[in-house]
Amino acid sequence: MTPPATPIRANSPAARDVAYALHPYTDLRAHAENGPLIIARGEGVRVYDDQGRDYIESIAGLWCASLGFSNDRLVAAATKQMKELPFYHAFTGRSHGPLIELSEMLVERAPLANGGAAMSKVFFANSGSEANDTALKMIWYFNNATGRPLKKKVISRVKGYHGVTIAAASLTGLPANHKLFDLPIAGIFHTTTPHFYHEGQEGETEEAFATRCADDLEALILREGPDTVAAMFAEPVMGAGGVIVPPRTYWAKMQAVLRKYDVMLVADEVICGFGRTGSYWGCQTFDITPDILTCAKALSSAFLPISAVVVSDRVFQGLADGSKTIGTFGHGFTYSGHPVAAAVAVETLKIYDEMDIVGHAQRVGPYMQAALKARFGAHPLVGEVRGIGMVAAVELSPDPAGRKNFDPAAKIGPRLVKYGEKHGIILRSTPGDSIAISPPLVMVENEVDEMVERFGRAVDDLAVELRRESLAAV
């Protein structure tokens, strides 16, 4: 049986949380009964609850605390900027030093755009959701400004994740983000998930599966009409949908279809960016040349909210022409390029350069992948261990040979998360009971070993429980 929740004490922080807080991505009825896990402080790759217990944070918070949960340089950068200029906006041509420096740094570091040229300009927002929402508005604006008012439909993928605003949640291809929200909105379509383990057919090679995915994309574009399809949003590696690494040749074939029909590609690098896949960008890992790139999370190592939309020169010129006609580019947020958040992001990128974040990920990532496969590759409760760089997933299964999933009603993944807490590890369950692993990028080999050991104890405890319940033959 699942470990019992700690009783909620009257007037405790937990009781006050239940009384007043509404939590994202939470079963609100269950939370009212069980209460929260309250995290009090962090240090390195660990966080500590309000009882002083330590946990290895295997998902870096929400894929984002790349430098861990303590960094004096980022604190100092925020403090210094708070004293000099705690706020100013970027509306009507206003600017400030951190915004300018961060824009320059991102363009210098960005992957090549569609056509092989450098990226051109950067727009700032506060979250990945806002960045993707902004990218969609830019695409619509661009096509209106360039005389293509019918070219507005957008494609993403089943199990893709692009955020939770109305437009971004529509791009997201997960049922929990659509049900009861009246989503997706019109004009957004979802194509095949590139997960060979589940979607590949008997006798089909990865390359043949990649071809089928590209054929599915082309068929969708032709069905809707190429003159009406504007863009595709895609993560280089799908994150919240289960850490799905695309099959060999996938991206080359998908991009060929998009170029054939003049469909823009928005690379959602919110999770993959800044070294996570073993390159600075996921685009570079898979030879993707996007028209627009969105990023967030590790941009500031999650110390402050900030995101960015990096656009090609072609896109910028269309936006500029439209704004000339209207008199303004009528989009922006009060906190776009907030000076304190931007200053922290500048310092974050400097730290990445100094520590050689890509080299570190290239060294520790394969070690982590090997350690996970050694511990779980033959486990009777595990169907697949997959990943690249410093992002991975361990997919639980009642029948690994048959590539079956548990009944979602059994909530196997969430049960494992609770066992993880018991053994001092924070885990993240994604659809299909795939346990995502995306630790702080600063994690080193001995910490990987401890993370995998704690994770293994949690899986073994779950196996005992499922055997008792006859839910799995383990």
User: What SS3 class is residue 249?
Assistant: coil
Residues near 431 by beta carbon (within 8 Å), at least 6 away in sequence: 159, 174, 241, 242
Whether residue 394 contacts residue 369, with contact meaning beta carbons closer than 8 Å, is answered with no
244, 412, 440 from 391: Cα distances, Å: 10, 21, 10
Nearest Cα residue to 411 out of 9, 46, 34: 34
Paired tokens of 439? 């630790």
pLDDT beneath 50, residues of the chain:
none
Partners of 157 in the beta sheet?
Answer: 191
- If you average pLDDT over every residue of the chain, what do you get? 96
Residues near 255 by beta carbon (within 8 Å), at least 6 away in sequence: 265, 288, 289
The pTM for the full model equals 0.96
147, 237, 328, 346 from 288: Cα distances, Å: 27, 12, 32, 25
Paired tokens of 227? 């003159």
Whether residue 424 contacts residue 454, with contact meaning beta carbons closer than 8 Å, is answered with yes
What is the per-residue pLDDT across 44-53, written as a single tens digit (0 to 9) for each? 999 999 999 9
Residues near 51 by beta carbon (within 8 Å), at least 6 away in sequence: none
List b or e across 273-304, with b for residues whose CB sees 16 or more CB atoms inside 10 angstroms: bbbbbbbbbbbbbbebbbbbbbbbbbbbbbbb
Residues near 357 by beta carbon (within 8 Å), at least 6 away in sequence: 66, 274, 275, 280, 351, 441
Cα-flanking dihedrals φ and ψ of residue 301, to 5°? 55, 25
Angle ∠(325,330,334) on CA atoms, nearest 5: 155
Ranges for all domains in the chain classified under CATH 3.90.1150.10? 37-70+357-468
Whether residue 423 contacts residue 53, with contact meaning beta carbons closer than 8 Å, is answered with no
pLDDT at 472: 73
The CATH label, of 3.90.1640.10, 3.40.640.10, 3.40.190.80, 3.40.50.720, for the domain at 75-355 is 3.40.640.10
19 sits in which H/E element: helix 13-20
Question: Domain 37-70+357-468 class?
Answer: alpha beta
User: What SS3 class is residue 159?
Assistant: coil
Report the alpha-carbon distance of residue 316 to residue 312 in Å, rounded: 6
Angle ∠(91,96,97) on CA atoms, nearest 5: 150
User: Which DSSP letter does residue 377 get?
Assistant: T
Report the alpha-carbon distance of residue 441 to residue 34 in Å, rounded: 32
pLDDT at 474: 61
Ranges for all domains in the chain classified under CATH 3.40.640.10? 75-355
Whether residue 336 contacts residue 125, with contact meaning beta carbons closer than 8 Å, is answered with yes
Q: In sequence order, which ranges of 146-224 are alpha helices (DSSP H)?
A: 166-171, 196-199, 206-224
